[in-house]
């Protein structure tokens, strides 16, 4: 009998770091201090440093990180923001939640990230910002995106929710654009034990605005400068994240070893493997393959106890939630085709080599016929 291979074993992260996490938990419970404060500041400093950014502001989750980053960069109601067609819906929701308009741009079919050649056509007099998403853990082409932003005087708000630690030419994601939004949802490469998020930036102005925005629009208690929100990172989660941050590089390395095996040994004629440009160091948040017979392949793996997921089965523009934006279902064929064919194989810091080789064996038995 085979054993089941989960898509991602989150409980294993606690088992590996139990002592340190429990110590943090007790320290905070005993401290009597449960909102903002030194645990948050410590993590913010550590994470800014890790990301090679000057500043970091902890917030309640990744969606808020994106919305608040847009606001802090001056994006307002009525402005247009360029977003990828192929992304998690949070990237779009952040734009629509602040009353701005998402302008979709199709991805490059090899990298899954924004197709740089299509961005210029989408820019209008209302365009205020670009929102590249470093999807599946692989950085978007920030060098070209920055050139375009400078040329058209646009802000860049990056969605880094899947790319903690990823590098472009040896420099980490964290301060290429005006602000980078992060999610610490448990399944992310750096994940909390609950919700959490942050924004990193090199701009002191954006940093100061974020601190006010996340805390009721207030710097001094009971003095409210603007209409802010309540979106603070929880001190318990901040302390857990500080513990886990020390292991992020090692855990990303373990992911990359599994990805290397997949890239080397997966040889089914019916699948397409991920492509990594030379100057990028992805962190393999997901290992996404494509198959014309995706649903059969997923079923084939399920029969062998191997869990897979689809990221994402319905692109944002086809979601009922966005029916009011009036997109025709045939409007973005690349995003559509990706949604029909992608399949994410198990990957994570606690997936054993043995299990990854069984995934390879079972996928390789699957052929077109
Ligand atoms: C997870 C994720 C988010 C949202 O993060 P939450 O913390 O769940 O709000 C945003 N964008 C992308 C690409 C994500 O994967």
Q: Give the domain CATH number at 263.
A: 3.90.1150.10
* Domain shared by 46 and 153, yes or no: yes
Tell whether 231 and 186 lie within a shared domain. Answer: yes
* Low-confidence stretches of the chain (pLDDT beneath 70): 1, 368-369
Query: Domain tally for the chain?
Result: 2
Q: What is the pLDDT of residue 2?
A: 73
Kindly give the distance from the C-alpha atom of residue 108 to the centroid of ligand 1, in angstroms, as a whole number.
Answer: 21
Last residue of a domain, one of 220, 245, 270: 245
Q: Which residues contact 130 (CB under 8 A, 6 or more apart)?
A: 81, 82, 119, 145, 148, 149, 154, 155, 156, 157, 177
Residue 328, CB-side half-sphere exposure with 13 Å CA sphere: 3
pLDDT at position 1 is 60
| DSSP assignment string, 118-150 | HHHHH--TTEEEE--B-GGG----HHHHHHHHH
**Domain-embedded: residue 228:** yes
Per-residue pLDDT, 321:
97
Output the CA 361–ligand 1 centroid distance in Å. Answer: 32
For the Cβ of 90 lying below 6 angstroms from any atom of ligand 1, the answer is yes
pLDDT tens digits, one per residue of 290-347: 999 999 999 999 999 999 999 999 999 999 999 999 999 999 999 999 999 999 999 9
Nearest residue (by CA) to ligand 1, atom 4, is: 62
Residue 4 lies in a domain: no
Which of these, 288, 301, 303, 300, lies nearest to 338 by C-alpha position?
288
Cα–ligand 1 centroid distance for 184 (angstroms): 8
Residue among 8, 185, 192 to mutate when testing ligand 1 (max atoms within 8 A of CB): 185
User: 24 alpha carbon to ligand 1 midpoint, in Å?
Assistant: 25
pLDDT in the model for residue 216: 96
Q: What is the pLDDT of residue 369?
A: 56
* DSSP label of 309: B
Alpha helices in 266-351 (DSSP H): 294-303, 333-341
Size of the chain in residues: 369
**Residues 180 and 200: beta-carbon distance below 8 Å:** yes
If asked whether residues 123 and 137 sit together in one domain, one would say yes
Q: How many CB atoms lie within 10 A of CB 41?
A: 14
332 and 315 in one domain? yes
Full-model pTM = 0.97
Atom of ligand 1 nearest to the CA of 183: 7
Ligand 1: residue of 102, 159, 180, 283 to mutate (most ligand atoms within 8 A of CB) is: 159
CA of 2 relative to ligand 1 center, distance in Å? 33
Ligand 1 near 61 CB (within 6 A): yes
11: CB partners within 8 A, 6+ apart? none
**155 and 119, same domain (yes or no):** yes
Candidate of 65, 69, 88, 179 to mutate for ligand 1, largest count of ligand atoms within 8 Å of Cβ: 88
Domain CATH number, residue 133: 3.40.640.10
Instruction: Give the residue, by CA position, lying nearest to ligand 1 atom 7.
Output: 62
Atom 14 in ligand 1: which residue has the minimum CA distance? 161
Ligand 1: centre distance to CA 161 (Å): 5
Closest ligand 1 atom to 197 CA: 7
Atom of ligand 1 nearest to the CA of 91: 11
Same domain, 45 and 127: yes
Distance CA(251)–CA(49), nearest Å, equals 18
Residue 307, domain extent = 248-364
In DSSP notation, 13-64 reads HHHHHHHHHHHHHHHHHHHT--SSSHHHHHHHHHHHHHTT-SEEEEES-HHH
- What residues contact 363, with CB distance under 8 A and at least 6 apart? 266, 268, 271, 289, 297, 301, 345
- How far is residue 317's CA from residue 321's CA, in Å, rounded to a whole number? 9
**Residue 130: strand pairing partners:** 82, 156
Residues pairing with 156 in the sheet = 130
* Same domain, residue pair 146 and 225: yes
Please give the distance, rounded to the nearest whole angstrom, from the Cα atom of residue 183 to the centre of ligand 1.
5
Residue 24 Cβ < 6 Å to ligand 1: no
- What is the per-residue DSSP string for 152-198? HT-EEEEE-TT-TT-EETTEETTSSSSEEEEE--TTSSS--SS--EE
Establish whether residue 162 lines the binding site of ligand 1, counting it when its CB lies within 6 angstroms of any ligand atom. Answer: yes
Listed residues 245, 268, 287: the one ending a domain: 245
- Count Cβ atoms below 10 Å from residue 293 Cβ, excluding itself: 17
Q: Say if residue 45 is in the same domain as residue 139.
A: yes
Q: Is the CB of 91 under 6 A from ligand 1?
A: yes
245, 261, 296 — which closes off a domain? Answer: 245
Do residues 138 and 252 touch, judged by C-beta distance below 8 A?
no
Is residue 57 domain-shared with residue 197, that is, in the same domain?
yes
């Amino acid at each position: 009998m085979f054993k089941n291979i989960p898509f991602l074993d989150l409980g294993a992260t606690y088992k590996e770091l139990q002592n340190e996490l429990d110590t943090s938990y007790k320290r905070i419970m005993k401290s009597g201090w449960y909102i903002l404060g030194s645990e948050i500041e410590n993590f913010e400093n550590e994470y800014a440093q890790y990301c090679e950014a000057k500043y970091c502001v902890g917030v309640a989750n990744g969606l808020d990180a994106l919305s608040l980053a847009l606001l802090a960069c001056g994006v307002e109601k009525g402005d247009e923001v360029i977003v990828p067609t192929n992304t998690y819906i949070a990237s779009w929701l952040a734009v629509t939640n602040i009353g701005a308009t998402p302008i979709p741009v199709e991805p490059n079919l090899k990298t899954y990230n924004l197709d740089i050649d299509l961005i210029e056509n989408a820019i209008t007099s209302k365009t205020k910002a670009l929102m590249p998403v470093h999807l599946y853990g692989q950085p978007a082409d920030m060098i070209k995106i920055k050139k375009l932003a400078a040329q058209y005087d646009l802000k860049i708000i990056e969605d880094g929710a899947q790319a903690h630690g990823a590098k472009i030419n040896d420099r980490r994601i964290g301060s290429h654009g005006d602000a980078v939004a992060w999610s610490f949802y448990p399944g992310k490469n750096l994940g909390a034990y609950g919700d959490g998020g942050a924004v990193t930036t090199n701009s002191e102005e954006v940093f100061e605005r974020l601190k006010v925005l996340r805390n009721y629009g207030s710097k001094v208690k009971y003095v409210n400068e603007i209409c802010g929100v309540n979106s603070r990172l929880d001190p318990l989660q901040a302390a857990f994240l500080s513990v886990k941050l020390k292991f992020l590089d090692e855990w990303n390395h373990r992911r990359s070893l599994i990805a290397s095996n997949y890239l080397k040994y997966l040889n089914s004629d019916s699948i397409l493997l991920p492509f990594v440009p030379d100057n990028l160091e992805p962190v393999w948040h997901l290992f996404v393959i494509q198959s014309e017979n995706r649903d059969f392949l997923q079923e084939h793996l399920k029969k062998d106890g191997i869990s897979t997921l689809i990221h994402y089965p319905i692109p944002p523009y086809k979601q009922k939630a966005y029916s009011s934006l009036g997109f025709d279902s045939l409007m973005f064929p690349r995003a559509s085709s990706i949604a029909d064919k992608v399949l994410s194989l198990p990957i994570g810091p606690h997936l054993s080599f043995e299990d990854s080789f069984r995934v390879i064996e079972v996928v390789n038995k699957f052929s077109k016929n």
